[in-house]
A and B are shown apart, each in its own frame.
Chain A
């Protein structure tokens, strides 16, 4: 049995992801120069999340990790989201 739960990713795959990340960086800079009002921040966050997912799934090999680890990451993100979200019950309604 292979000692690693995931195989070595090909150079082609990694560079493709890198190119995508650069393109997304370009897009986010471009979008930020448009005046979308409150949408700007959500667009920026959306693109950043997309970029982050690419890094996590490919560079960090999460795609090939067992489901347990994906679940753990989900729990961590959910915790962070609830910390920020619940705080807003205070700051938005004060």
Chain B
């Protein structure tokens, strides 16, 4: 009786925490909306300088990792522990690939002087400075969440492996997966707002 209660409570608690994560990024989306309304042309010009290929690649990576973690949960619930472990490994791998991609992308921006204080960005219109400012904060904060999510999943992977998260008690994996899906959700909005402006 009490155990069942705990499982539902844990999930509710996780969802509530995700709401606050949502509102955390919400502040950035608020700024984005305001500045997009103020500098539409500059935002388009800024968006064109982002790498569409890397952005799309990262989108596919995150969506796929979202799938693998959802599959991992289903696998665990069906009692297929080894499959679950494999899928979790895949998820963590995808998250690392995502970060590498992101690193390559940032590095390119730095090489081009497209960073706050960088030579090329300083010459551009104010709207573009704001665009790139938002771009770095938003993707940076998101990247941090990817890192935290990956660490969390790695830890849970250990718990599954050592048999402390099981078919009977998958709450930790459920919540870790929820967190990972949120990371994906945020990216689903970041992607069109930054990479697909035209």
Contact = CB atoms under 8 A, between A and B. Distances in A.
Contact of A48 (B74, B78, B177, B192): B192
Contact of B19 (A44, A58, A65, A72): A72
Interface in B154-198: 168, 170, 177-178, 181, 184-185, 188-189, 191-193, 196-198
A80 B49 CA distance: 29
B56 interface: yes
Nearest to A45: B192
B15 A5 contact: no
Contact of A25 (B15, B60, B168): B60
B90 interface: no
Contacts of B189: 45, 48, 52
Contacts of A87: 30, 33-34
B12 interface: yes
Contacts of A56: 181, 185
A32 B52 CA distance: 11
B22 A44 contact: no
A51 to B, nearest CB: 5
Interface string B56-70: 100110011011011
Contacts of A58: 70
What bracket does the count of chain B residues touching chain A fall in? 35 or more
A59 B11 CA distance: 14
- Residues of B contacting A: mostly: helix
B188 A51 contact: yes
B106 interface: no
Contacts, number: 123
B193 A44 contact: yes
A48 B15 contact: no
A41 B185 CA distance: 18
Contacts of A92: 37
Contact of B4 (A3, A29, A88): A3
Nearest to B73: A8
B26 A72 contact: no
A59 B74 contact: no
A41 to B, nearest CB: 7
Contacts of A1: 4
B74 A29 contact: no
B187 to A, nearest CB: 10
A28 B196 contact: yes
Contacts of B19: 72-73, 76
Interface of B: 3-4, 7-8, 11-12, 15-16, 19, 22-23, 26, 29-30, 33-34, 36-38, 52, 56, 59-60, 63-64, 66-67, 69-71, 73-74, 77-78, 168, 170, 177-178, 181, 184-185, 188-189, 191-193, 196-198
